[in-house]
Amino acid sequence: MEILKHDLLIIGSGIAGLRAALQAAYTAKIDIAILSKVQVMRSHSVSAEGGMSAVLYPDKNNDSLELHAYDTIKGSDYLADQDAVELLVQMAPIEVRFLERIGVPWSRLPDGRMYQRPFGGMSVPRTTFAADKTGFFIMSTLYQNILRFDNIKQYHEYFVTKLIIENGEFKGVTALDLKTGELKLFLAKAAIIATGGAGKLYRFTTMAHSSTGEMLGFALRSGLALKDMEFVQWHPTALVPSGILVSEAARGEGGYLINKQGERFMKRYAPQRMELAPRDIVSRAILTEIAEGRGFVHEESGMGYVGLDLRHLGEGVLTQKIPFITELAHKYVGVDPLEEPIPVRPAVHYFMGGIHVDTYGRVLAPDGSWVRGLWAAGEAASVSVHGANRLGSNSLSECSIWGRLTGEAAAKYAMEAPTPATDERYIKAAQGEESRIFDKLLHKETGGISVYELRGRLQDAMEQHFGPYRQESTMKEGIPKLLKIREDFANVRVEDGGRVYNQNLKDALELDGMIDAALAVAYGALARQESRGAHYRLDYPKRDDKNWLKHTLAFFNGGQIQLSYIPVRITKWTKFEERKY
């Protein structure tokens, strides 16, 4: 087996991972490797459309760091850690300007400053954007800037199968090289996990095929904890029936949501902010309209939907500010937004939860101790700045900021730490992985169950039992289904017997991790007997600060998910208002 050594491994290549790589490469002359299961520039961050929040011009926009923090904390339904939010708002303008200096083509005002648009839950326009392909432009700029540094090596299409952690210290990973089908052992002084979200736990999602979230499951297996996994964000406007995202920028630029009667129904749910209320509120409003018969019905899929009406915005706004939305609507649903409303409904979009980390992105064990040498950033981590509900455009800021912070910290750590020894124990661990993957999974002689059939069952169970409206009885029926899927995975059949670019095998390995990540969502949701942000319980429709103003931690204990709780860090926002918009 090939053994590869680097100082710092970055697992995942979205905005958080690439930003971390750049900062680490500039900070120290260390040997950095990016491992990505996709080609490095193709991560799901490219699909982010709307923009990146930051208080850039406080005087001109009548904005302040204080106000950005307040909006974020209120938007989070008070579950965000306030010290982390303070760091977010303070660093966001610094990061937007950094991205400006490395070449992001931000949309501009006539005087050369950056344009900012309104976004849901934000009191003033503070979302910086590059048309409506902001994520793509940031990704492309970061990726090309990576090419400046010869101390960054890119491993395209390397699927990490296991984290090796020993005595509370990171040691390395095993990864499957998809192009050759060989398993390799990577030893390193430090690592940053930046593998993104887990949209594919559900059937209807805005996320890419690659956003499967298996690393969250692998993290559980290596003894790490996941935080607040029950908080899953449904984005209000995804195209029917594909789930392709229609950015909040459409509403930021003035788009309306209308029901079958042509009514702007948001006036009944959020009379002041209307279409620009936070996502949890708008998504539930749309689902209520559909449930009460005021939605449209999509003929082929049977899905209910409402209309996103952009007709009044005019051609100028559509072609200058939101050209991608116009293109996507035209291409994938055959609708010209100047002529008719776009059919949309809520879809899984973002996981507020993720790997348990502290304010600086250091990965914490269930007992709160730092796993030395290990960081996590971006959607894969839960810092937590989003709490129970993320505001649109805060994620690009988060990814960029915590990419930078973890990149810098990990590089400094790697400069001091000793080179990992090629210990027999790590080789044994890797050989165990080889046996699990190639002997047991790839060459299993059984009839078995198709990977895709089982994954479909997982997605259906999550949609049915852990969707935007939850209650104890349905969730209690859902958990045995997930446990059965866990059990049935032992009989999964990899039909592709080859080694080279065996996606069928990769898909099976993904599914294995997805099931554990799904269980963390399920147990967290069942236990939390309140409604807060994106977690809505029909049987407990009110927020309960007395009992539930706390973060959930999920971790494995004897192969079973166990939960514990830790307090929310509160600095100066101590008035827990009811969220009215």
Partner 1 sequence: MPTLTVKVKRFDGKKSWWQEYKVDIKSRRISVLDVLVKIKEEQDPTLAVRYSCRMAICGSCGMVINGVPRLACQTLLTEIKDDTITVEPMWNHRVIRDLVVDTEPNFEKLRKVKPYIIRDLKEIYESDREIGQKPEELEKYYNFAYCIECGLCMAACPVVATNQRFLGPMALAAAYRWSADSRDQGWPVRAKIVDTDEGVWSCHLAYTCSAVCPRGVDPGFAIQLVKAALMRRAKKL
Cβ at position 34, least distance to partner 1 in Å: 13
Nearest to 507 by CA among 562, 559, 449: 449
Which two three-digit tokens encode residue 57? 């011009």
| The two three-digit tokens of residue 493, written as one number | 């059949």
Distance CA 52, CA 36 (A): 24
At 57, phi and psi to the nearest 5?
A: -130, 75
Annotated active-site residue in 126, 203, 235, 404:
235
298 catalytic? Reply is: no
Q: Where are the alpha helices (DSSP H) in 103-179?
A: 134-146
Give the whole-angstrom CA distance, residue 76 versus residue 383.
13
- One-letter amino acid identity for 18? L
**Catalytic residue, candidates 19, 68, 251, 543:** 251
How much of the chain is helix, strand and coil, in % rounded to 5? 40, 20, 40
Least distance between partner 1 and beta carbon 525 (Å) = 28
108 is catalytic: no
Alpha-carbon distance of 493 to 491, in angstroms, equals 6
Q: Which is nearer to partner 1, 503 or 557 (CB)?
A: 503
Helices marked H in 312-393 — which ranges?
314-320, 323-328
**Do 347 and 205 contact (CB within 8 A), yes or no?**
yes
- Nearest CA to 151 among 7, 45, 325? 7
Would you tell me which residues interact with partner 1 (CB under 8 A)?
A: 26, 38-39, 41-44, 46-47, 94, 97-98, 100-103, 105-114, 133, 136-137, 140-141, 143-145, 147-148, 154, 156, 179, 208-210, 242, 244-245, 300, 324, 328, 331-334, 450-452, 494-496, 498, 500-504, 507
264 or 440: whose CB is closer to partner 1? Answer: 440
Minimum CB separation from partner 1 for residue 279, in Å?
19
What is the distance in angstroms between the CA of the first residue and the CA of the last residue of the chain? 58
CB of 107 to partner 1, least distance (A): 8
Please, what is the minimum distance in Å from the beta carbon of residue 207 to partner 1? 9
Q: Least distance to partner 1 from the beta carbon of 62, Å?
A: 19
CA distances to 127, 146, 391, 393 from 50, in Å? 8, 24, 12, 7
- Shortest distance, position 347 Cβ to partner 1, whole Å: 13
CA distance 444 to 424: 28
Helices (H), 329-450: 394-416, 424-434
Both tokens of 131, joined, read 């048309």
At what angle are helices 15-27 and 394-416 packed, to 10 degrees? 40
Q: Which is nearer to partner 1, 55 or 328 (CB)?
A: 328
d(CA 463, CA 265): 25
Q: Which residues are catalytic?
A: 235, 251
